[in-house]
Every structure is written in structure tokens, then in C-alpha cells.
Amino acid sequence: ATRSDEVVSFEYQLTVRGAKSWFEARITALHDHQQAVCVVRNFTELHEARQQLESMAHYDALTGLANRALLDKLLEQSVRSARRNNQRMGVLFIDL
């Protein structure tokens, strides 16, 4: 059960006839907890713009290769994962 002021939100993707669309659903219980209100919005254009910005930030436009920013991000994730799981890790970095 949720409080009447609590909003549950999630994103999901639907594919219809090969076209992918992204939606956000926001659900909140009404005061009697017997009913709820759900608002769904299509945010496909915003999702695609975010994906494009993410790609531009992490990949070289000319070569399509991953850049240093992506290396730093993935390395940070790997270190956190290794610490969380009490695992060892190593990195071999060759700068061309």
C-alpha cells in the first residue's frame, strides 16, 4: 500500500510494428486508497535526444570510437562493482 501523497513512477518501452516508443507512467493513490490516478506520457523524442547526447559525449564523431570520458565512466563503475563484490580487478592502459 502506498501513502496518498506517494507517486510511483516508471518508464517502459513498447515496440509496435517495429517502431519503438518510450513511455512514463506516474501513479498515485487517492485518499481512500480504493482508487488511483495514472498519467502516462510518451517521451520518445526526449529519450532519443538524451541517447544522442550520451553518444556525442562518449564517442568520437569521426571514428565512432569510445573516448576518455566513457573510459572514465566505465572504469568508475567497474571499481565500484569490484569493491561491492569484494573482487580484485586490474587495468591495462595503452595510450597510442
Q: Do 31 and 60 fall within a single domain? A: no
Residue 25 resides in a domain:
yes
Confidence category of residue 26, pLDDT binned at 50, 70, 90: very high
Residue 26 resides in a domain:
yes
Q: Do 69 and 33 fall within a single domain? A: no
Report the chain's mean pLDDT, rounded to a whole number: 91
Percentage, residues of the chain above pLDDT 90: 77
Q: Do 35 and 64 fall within a single domain? A: no
Confidence category of residue 74, pLDDT binned at 50, 70, 90: very high
Mean pLDDT of 31-48: 92
Q: What's the domain range around 5?
A: 1-42
Residues 6+ apart with CB under 8 A from 10: 24, 25
Q: Do 17 and 35 fall within a single domain? A: yes
Q: Do 18 and 38 fall within a single domain? A: yes
What is the reported pLDDT for 82? 96
Q: Do 38 and 5 fall within a single domain? A: yes
pLDDT of 7 above 70: yes
Residue 66 resides in a domain:
yes
Q: Do 13 and 37 fall within a single domain? A: yes
Q: Do 2 and 38 fall within a single domain? A: yes
Mutual angle of helices 68-84 and 44-58, in 10-degree steps: 100
What is the reported pLDDT for 4? 58
